[in-house]
Amino acid sequence: MSNDTPTLHATIRERKGTRYARRLRSEGRLPAVIYGHGSDPLSISLDHIETLRHLKAGSHVFEVDVEDQKGTETCLVKDLQFGWLGDDLIHLDLTRVDLDQLVEVKVRLHFVGEPPMLGTTTGGVMEYDLNELEVSCKVREIPEEITVRLESMAGDTLTIGDLEIPDGVTPTAESSERVCQIVVQDDTEPEETGEAGGEAAAGGEAPAETTEEAGDS
């Protein structure tokens, strides 16, 4: 986690429901809820652009300054909710935490460089199995991202055990789980169609659809 925890300024949401949340988003506000530490859930709204900017930068922890309340609350991102297209953040769940609390979070992987074998493998391309990694660590030690240096890739496969993980951070998955690999694309020409296919291509009539199949369409 960065030494400077971002601060988000929040206002309390007095009204709830889909209609009111939609109105907030049209005004550039992001509906959110703060949970945890034995306190009642607190419905708030945040500046959408500011919040999204910090999230894209890899921030997981925020100091939330709620309007008309004394002090700030240290909060961890618990859940992100997106619109039906999957590309529009519409709601954020936060949970109150202590900086020394042990948590499990997903951290994005940042791939840099090129594997030595990629240039010597005919038709080889990179295939990525993971773009983020779940880790266990203290809140204060959550990294914004984990760098994956592909130039240090010894073979055609890289696993979690090959990653350079920051001190105090432990992956929750097995070290043998694959992160990425070099695969050879299959450029084999498709087989020629059989005799029946050739007749259809030559202008022969296609088999008539059965009555049962036509009824299902």
What's residue 201's pLDDT?
A: 42
What's residue 215's pLDDT?
A: 38
> Does the pLDDT value for residue 210 go beyond 50?
no
Last residue of a domain, one of 97, 123, 154: 97
130-161 confidence digits (pLDDT tens): 999 999 999 999 999 999 999 988 889 999 99
What's residue 131's pLDDT?
A: 96
Q: Cβ(151)–Cβ(116) under 8 Å?
A: yes
Q: Cα-flanking dihedrals φ and ψ of residue 48, to 5°? A: -65, -50
What's residue 121's pLDDT?
A: 73
CATH of residue 22's domain is 2.40.240.10
Chain centroid to CA 138: how far?
21
In 88-207, DSSP assigns E strands to 89-96, 102-112, 124-128, 132-138, 145-149, 157-159, 170-171, 178-184
Flag the least confident range among 34-48, 86-100, 202-216: 202-216
50-86 confidence digits (pLDDT tens): 999 999 999 999 999 999 888 899 999 999 998 877 6
* Tally of CA atoms within 13 A in the half-sphere of 75 that contains its CB: 29
Residues 22 and 74 in one domain: yes
142 by DSSP, 3-state: which? coil
Q: Does any domain span residue 213?
A: no
What's residue 63's pLDDT?
A: 96
Distances (CA, A) of 194 to 25, 187, 189, 203: 58, 21, 15, 15
Reported as type and span, the H/E element at residue 62 is strand 61-66
104 by DSSP, 3-state: which? strand
Q: Cβ(124)–Cβ(183) under 8 Å?
A: yes
Q: What are the tokens at 144?
A: 């914004």
Q: Cα-flanking dihedrals φ and ψ of residue 145, to 5°? A: -160, 165
Residues 91 and 117 in one domain: no
Total count of domains within the chain: 2
Q: Does any domain span residue 88?
A: yes
Residues 25 and 55 in one domain: yes
Cα(80)–Cα(94) distance, rounded to whole angstroms? Answer: 9
> Which residues touch 112 (CB under 8 Å, ≥6 apart)?
147, 148, 149, 150, 151
Q: Does any domain span residue 145?
A: yes
Percent of the chain exceeding pLDDT 70 equals 83
Residues 53 and 85 in one domain: yes
> Does the pLDDT value for residue 3 go beyond 90?
no
Cα(129)–Cα(133) distance, rounded to whole angstroms? Answer: 11
Q: Report residue 208's pLDDT band, with 50, 70 and 90 as the boundaries.
A: very low
Chain centroid to CA 115: how far?
24
Residues 13 and 91 in one domain: yes
Q: What are the tokens at 78?
A: 């618990």
154-207 confidence digits (pLDDT tens): 889 999 999 999 999 999 999 999 999 999 876 555 555 555 444 444 444 444
